Amino acid sequence: MPDYIIPAGDGEIEYVEKRSRFIGRVWRVESEAQALERLRETRERHWDATHNVYAYALHEGGLMRYSDDGEPSGTAGMPVLDVFRKAGVQDFCCVVTRYFGGILLGAGGLVRAYAKSAALALEKAGRARMTPLLELSLLCSYPQYERVRAELGRAGALLEDTVFGADVELKIAMTAENYAVFAPRITDLTAGTALLEVTGQSMRPVPLEELS
**In the chain, where the domains are located:** 4-125, 131-211
Q: Which CATH code for domain 4-125? A: 3.30.230.30
- What confidence score (pLDDT) does residue 108 get? 96
Q: Where residue 203 falls among pLDDT bands split at 50, 70, 90?
A: confident
Give backbone dihedrals phi and psi of 121, rounded to 5 degrees, phi first: -65, -40
Mean pLDDT of the chain: 93
pTM: 0.78
Average pLDDT of the residues in 42-59: 97
User: What stretches of the chain adopt beta strand conformation (E)?
Assistant: 4-7, 11-17, 20-28, 51-57, 64-67, 92-99, 127-140, 158-164, 168-174, 195-207
Closest by CA to 46, choosing from 16, 75, 69, is 69
- What confidence score (pLDDT) does residue 209 get? 58
Closest by CA to 128, choosing from 154, 162, 158, 155, is 158
Average pLDDT of the residues in 72-81: 97
Average pLDDT of the residues in 109-126: 96
Strand-strand pairing, 20-28 and 4-7: unpaired
Average pLDDT of the residues in 108-114: 97
CA–CA distance, 77 with 1 (Å, rounded to integer): 30
CA–CA distance, 191 with 186 (Å, rounded to integer): 8
Please state, for a pLDDT cut of 70, what percent of the chain lies above it: 97
Instruction: Please check the confidence at residue 212 and state whether its pLDDT lies above 60.
Output: no
- What confidence score (pLDDT) does residue 153 get? 85
- What confidence score (pLDDT) does residue 204 get? 83
- What confidence score (pLDDT) does residue 154 get? 87
Average pLDDT of the residues in 8-24: 95
Closest by CA to 59, choosing from 4, 122, 118, 121, is 4
End-to-end CA gap in the chain: 19
- What confidence score (pLDDT) does residue 118 get? 97
pLDDT, tens only, 125-180? 999 999 899 999 999 999 999 999 999 988 888 899 999 999 999 999 999 999 99
Instruction: Please check the confidence at residue 211 and state whether its pLDDT lies above 50.
Output: no
- What confidence score (pLDDT) does residue 205 get? 83
Q: Which CATH code for domain 131-211? A: 3.30.70.240
